Amino acid sequence: MDDFEAAVLLALNPAADRALVGQAVRYTDAVRVSPEGWRFCLEKLMQPYQAATKFWCLGVLAERYVASSARRHEAHTAAASKDHPNAAADLVRSGSSTAPPICIVSDDVIQPQDRALFRQACLMYLAFLTEREASAPSFLKNKLAQLIALVVRYDYPHEWPNVFFELIQFVENGPGALATRVELFFRIMRGVDEEVTSLSAFQQNKHHSMTVREGLRSSAIIGLTNIWHGCIRTDEQANERFAVWALDTLKRYSEWIDITLVLQDSTIGFISSMLGAERMGRYNKIHASCASALSAIVSKRMGVEDKMNLLERLQVLDLLRDMITDKALLEESGTHEESELGLRSARVEIAAVVNKLASEALEGMKVLLDDIRPVHIVRAALMVAIRLLSGEDGEQEVLEESVALISSYVLICKRDVAAVSGSGPGAQNGRGPERPGINLAQGQLDKFSDDDGLRQISVVTMENMRFPDNYDPAASEDDDLTGFATLRKLLLKVFRNIAVVAPNSIFAATQDMIRRVLREPSPAPADMELVFTLVQNLYELMPDKPAAQELVLGILSAQQFSQSIVMRSTSKALGNSSSFAGPAAAVSSSAGPPTSTDASRDHQMASVALMYLELATRAHRLLQEEQNTATLLLVLETFFGERGLRSRDGYTRSRSAHLLVKFVRTLRFVISSKALDAVLNTITPLLAIEDSSFLSVEDEYSLFEACGLVLGAADIAGVTSGSGDEQNARMAMYLRALLTPLIAAMSAAGGSGQEALERGVHSLKAAGALSKGFVAYVPMSPTNSTPLHSPRLLDSSPSKSQPFQRSQQGQQSADGGASSMNDSVADMQRTAAAKTLWLECLEAVMALRLRYPAHRELNKGVLFFYHRMVETAGADILRGFSESIAALLGGVSSPPDIMGVLLLVNQVVLKFQAQAAAVLDELFGPLVTVCVQYLPDVSMCAEPNAPQSEEERERIELVRAFVMLLFVVLESPLAPVMVSARNVRLLKDVTMFVLQTGHGNFLDGKATTMSTVRQTFQVVVAMSKLWITSTSPFARASGSGPGEVMIAAASTAPAVLKEVTELVLAHAAGMCVQCGQRLAMLISAQVVSAHAARSVVKEVVALEAALLESPPSIHTAFNDQLIRALSASVPGYSADTHKQYTALLLTSGREDDATRMLMAMILAERTAS
């Protein structure tokens, strides 16, 4: 070993001494950048160095040759640009190799005579390696092949036109063993493909790739393909390694060479014999190579008719039929050695080529509607895919390829079903699909949809969706099952599409699977999980189909599922008096760790239990029926069993609590009538457990809400057992049992302890959750049989088969039919006992708030609770409401806090209407004062796209909320509160705020701005009506603040001119003279300036009769201004308008005014002509 080799080996050894490595790298870098370094490396190739040293030399040679070629190309381009300004672009398009070689004096450029020496040295080392170093490692052979490929890239065909002929001569008559020559030849061909002719190389450098491709097509490609086909043979001289390399090369070059050079009978026969019925033994690397090559040949671009002819010549139909009966297809593939060729296992490559054949045939079916060949190919490919999916130990990639094939087929069937039935996209109005489809005839489509093929596809799809027995749902997502989860999603999509195409097949297959699982005394969790997944998806797709409903009810009530999930010690039918509550010891011990040593099975059972509860929640509609009461009670037992709220797993308990709320919300009336005692007696002990690890805070809120929903339904519908006072007493007993601990906790929070305060806040939120099921009674309007503002409707109504009683004035409804469903909740009186309890709770809440006025979380809870009490306790909460809200306003410190109060007041106004007059009269002033303090900065809102801080955004939202409150107040009977003696002083500030908001001063540039602006106009109109029609002396006083502001409102906002004009004319008789004259001048001035639409003048003319009843001074001033306006011939005003107004003046006895109007009309017509 000389110094050079020692330096190279040290530079390549990361474990060597760092100081020595540094010296070695400096030495080798000096050789690398030396002008004669490439000569030095060429000489070293022929010496007895180690393979790593020669690998380094080949790398330096490749690097220098590429750099030199690029530098020479730049020199050619510069020279051409200098001599001919337009030649540079031509040279770039044609390539530097088309120009004659020139000598460039540069240290980093290999001169033309040296390039010829370089190429000859490469071939010499190729022969040397074949003859003397045949056992060299693959990485050295690949590096030499890459170097020769790079030389071909830059020098072929102009400077090295005979390179491929020399390679052919090397294979046929070169030195060394034939196997080594063939191996190196195919490595070079693979290198040329990767560096020059492949699609990726073409995208990087189109010029070099096209040059080499055209050169090969015109000269050596026939000789090269003869060598490839010569290596693919089945006689006694056949060499399997040669065939593998040749098939790989054929696959690479078939993309761009002529198809006739690829389709030789010997090669087609070889592929058919390797993949067809003549094949012997297990699949191995040669079969993988054949499948991969066949896939590449089939992928070659051509017309549809030509592609089908190609498939027929390749005899792919016979090939697929042979695969259907090949038992070895289901066996594990043999390993292959040529991993560097990018081959996968034989079964994966076969699955890929089957998928490709089916894809091409499906494309043919879209165009060749009368050709039966693609139909047969698709059918055969489907059978092969089904067989591949049926294997016990299927490879992941095999499954993915097979599922992709089946998915494409089923999706096309789905599109055609939609097109035939007229339910798919583009099928409206008799049109066909918007995108190309198979467009099968109806009879053929029926055969596609109902034959045994789809039934078999359904079965294998479901079988492959099953999780392994050792699957752990609680394991992290980066385990070995990540790929399976992806595949399962695709399989589930296929399953859903089959359900659309052939629902009968999918229902039959699902029923068979359920029967098979039910035959097991203790079904495996993986089987139950699969059943729940399939049934849930079917019900989601077709909730109204009786078959889907039967499947849901069947598995919800099946004893095998319920016993395995609930794991109850006794199994008895549940009646109305059944209790789901277990012993206290069982409840408390359920929070401990699992006792089973099989953690994955425990997790599987927990997951299955949650799927059971999910399915029951989704299918709540079915459980409302009377005949399904037993199933409903069984589901409730599961909720409260050891796989639900008493599970040893915290996540399962939390999820069960969340699902319980959803379940009870939709079925509250039925549950109240069938299992009120059982539900409440079961939840109450769970809430009494003080262990914080058993239920989280949110879980407790969910349980409180569930209790409130059941109790609220019982209070409204009167469906509890018993009657009259006994009924009310039982409901009040349960409510008191739940509220008393909460009230006590809030009362005990008066101390200084932080823990007591936290318990008080928690109790406040729990009481709010409990109140969600209660709806307050709203009195009827004396002039209408419907409530003034209907309260929030219930989430669901009892079905006709579940009649409920309604307590109103001591009478009960006996029909339970449609009238019960349509009656408003407003008809249902809240019992006095429930109302009393809620008012007691409200007192405790306000007392707690007074002790901690600055506690932000507590104030938020108080606001929410007040919102709930508006719905729960009714108008009784108005006593002391204004004092409480005023206290809350005193502690606000941000726009969101104010918005919370505004929303509450808004709710009170909508709910109680005139009953809330006194409350609003006291609160309106403080609300206006606080809102004005937090108005946004006008400069920040001037630019629509200006960046906003969070605080500015909150202030803008406050503006919107305040405008909404003003609108609600003005549209309710409480509007006079704004002009009361207490609040009239604020009206000017309110009006200016509304007008500025209408101009967008306090708003941003979002889409919601225009809706707020429109609402401000409505507010201005309503305020104008309030001022004109108000009998308040403060509002009617001449020259008072409101009057001045209203005049300013109409002048500042022309958009409200028409509405204000109508209001003025409609109430002209009672208007004060001064304000009427000013408004008349204002309106006519708007007409003159043409700011108002033509319809404004029409409205003025139509309402002139009303104006005649006003005082003469108002009418005269208005008439004079209007005549001036019409005489000005404002564009858009027709003579018809003049005539209508003149006729109206004549009929009213105002001849002088009519004469003046006629003169104005004549003057306008002359001006127009």
Question: How many domains does the chain fold into?
Answer: 3
* Residues 196 and 70 grouped into a single domain: yes
Given a cut of 90, whether residue 59 has pLDDT beyond it is yes
The pLDDT, as a whole number, for residue 852 is: 84
pLDDT digits (tens, 9 = 90+) for 493-533: 888 888 888 888 889 889 998 988 888 878 888 889 999 99
Reported in sequence order, the residue ranges of 1093-1155 that DSSP labels E, i.e. its strands, are: none
List the end-to-end C-alpha distance of the chain, in Å, as a whole number: 113
Lowest-confidence pick of 111-125, 690-704, 1012-1026, 1152-1166: 1152-1166
Report the alpha-carbon angle 774-780-781, nearest 5.
140
1033 forms bridges with which residues in the sheet? Answer: none
Last residue of a domain, one of 967, 995, 1030: 1030
Residue 555 — pLDDT band, cuts 50, 70, 90?
confident
Is 285 in contact with 337 (CB distance < 8 Å)?
yes
Report the pLDDT value the prediction gives residue 888, as an integer from 0 to 100.
82
Which own/partner pairs from 809-813 qualify as long-range (CB within 8 Å, at least 24 positions apart)?
A: 812/718
Q: Residues for the chain: how many in total?
A: 1169
Return mean pLDDT, the chain: 76
Of 226-240, 362-376, 481-495, 779-793, give the range with the top mean pLDDT: 362-376
Look at residue 372 and tell me whether its pLDDT is greater than 60: yes
3-state helix, strand, coil in the chain (%, to 5): 70, 0, 30
Kindly report which listed range (210-219, 332-341, 731-740, 1086-1095) carries the lowest average pLDDT score. Answer: 1086-1095
**Per-residue tokens: 602:** 């425990």
Closest listed residue to residue 317, CA positions, set 390, 383, 407: 383
Residue 1151 lies in a domain: yes
* DSSP string across 680-695: HHHHHHHHH---TTTS
DSSP letter string, 16-47: S-HHHHHHHHHHHHHHHHSTTHHHHHHHHHTS
Average pLDDT over residues 251-279: 86
**Could you tell me if residue 312 is inside a domain?**
no
For residues 742 and 725, the model is more confident at 742
Mean local confidence (pLDDT), 182-196: 94
The pLDDT-based confidence of 890 (bands split at 50, 70, 90) is: confident
What is the structure's pLDDT at 210?
A: 93
Q: pLDDT band at 665, cuts 50/70/90? A: very high
Task: Please tell me which of 114-128, 841-855, 1047-1061 the model is most confident about, judged by mean pLDDT.
Answer: 114-128
**CB within 8 A of 330, min separation 6: which ones?**
387, 388, 390, 391, 392
Q: Does position 1126 have pLDDT exceeding 70, yes or no? A: no
Q: Is the pLDDT of residue 1143 over 60?
A: yes
Q: Please, which residues have CB within 8 angstroms of residue 25's CB and are 6 or more apart in sequence? A: 11
Residues paired with residue 780 on neighbouring β-strands, in sequence order: 787
- Cross-strand pairs, 808: 811
- Band the pLDDT of 445: cuts 50, 70, 90: very low
Residues 59, 156, single domain; the answer is: yes
The yes-or-no verdict on residue 722 having pLDDT over 70 is no
**Separation CA 751–CA 1039 (nearest Å):** 57
Q: Do 108 and 73 sit in the same domain of this protein?
A: yes
The pLDDT tens digits for 745-771 are 898 886 667 888 888 899 999 999 999
787 beta partners? 780
Are 560 and 521 in contact, with CB atoms under 8 Å apart? yes
- Three-state SS for 213? helix
998 and 905 in a common domain:
yes
Place of tokens 């063993």: 177
Judge contact between 820 and 808, C-beta under 8 A: no
Rounding to the nearest 10 degrees, give the CA dihedral for residues 369, 370, 374, 380. Answer: 110
Q: pLDDT at position 55, please?
A: 95
C-alpha 714/C-alpha 727 separation (Å) is: 9
Model confidence pLDDT, tens digit, residues 62-82: 999 999 888 887 776 666 555
State the pLDDT confidence band at 1063, using cuts at 50, 70 and 90: low
Same domain? 912 vs 999: yes
The more confident residue out of 30 and 1085 is 30
d(CA 617, CA 499): 22
| C-alpha distance from residue 519 to each of 414, 554, 561, 612, 1141 (Å) | 34, 14, 11, 19, 91
Instruction: Identify whether residues 1067 and 1129 lie together within a single domain.
Output: yes
Output the pTM of the full model.
0.69
Range among 139-148, 885-894, 993-1002 with highest mean pLDDT value: 139-148
User: Residues of the chain with pLDDT > 70: what percent?
Assistant: 67
Assess whether pLDDT exceeds 70 at residue 1030.
no
Residue 819 lies in a domain: no
Q: Residue 983, class by beta-carbon neighbours within 10 Å (0-12 exposed, 13-18 middle, 19+ buried)?
A: buried
Chain centre distance of CA 569: 43
Verify that 979 and 1070 share a domain, yes or no: no
User: Is there a domain that residue 144 lies in?
Assistant: yes
State which of 965, 996, 1030 marks the end of a domain.
1030
Is the same domain home to 1141 and 1074?
yes
Say if 600 falls within a structural domain.
no
C-beta of residue 379 within 8 angstroms of C-beta of residue 469: no
Domain identity same for 112 and 182: yes
The predicted structure's pLDDT at residue 649: 83
Residue 183 belongs to a domain: yes
Nearby residues of 890 by Cβ (< 8 Å), 6 or more positions away: 853
My answer on whether 160 and 38 are in the same domain is yes
CB atoms under 10 Å from CB of 1141, counted, come to 24
Provide mean pLDDT across the span 830-857.
83
pLDDT at 111 exceeding the cut of 80: yes
How far apart CA 888 and CA 764 sit, in angstroms, is 16
In a domain, 574, yes or no: no
In a domain, 88, yes or no: yes
Of 201, 227, 261, the domain-final residue = 201
Q: Which amino acid is at 1011?
A: S
Are 1133 and 1021 in the same domain?
A: no
The total of other beta-carbon atoms located within 10 Å of residue 498's CB is 24
Gap between the Cα atoms of 110 and 428, Å rounded: 71
Q: Has residue 252 got a pLDDT over 60?
A: yes
pLDDT surpassing 80 at residue 101: no
Structural domain boundaries enclosing 996: 880-1030
Confidence of residue 950 (pLDDT cuts 50, 70, 90): confident
Same domain, 57 and 103: yes
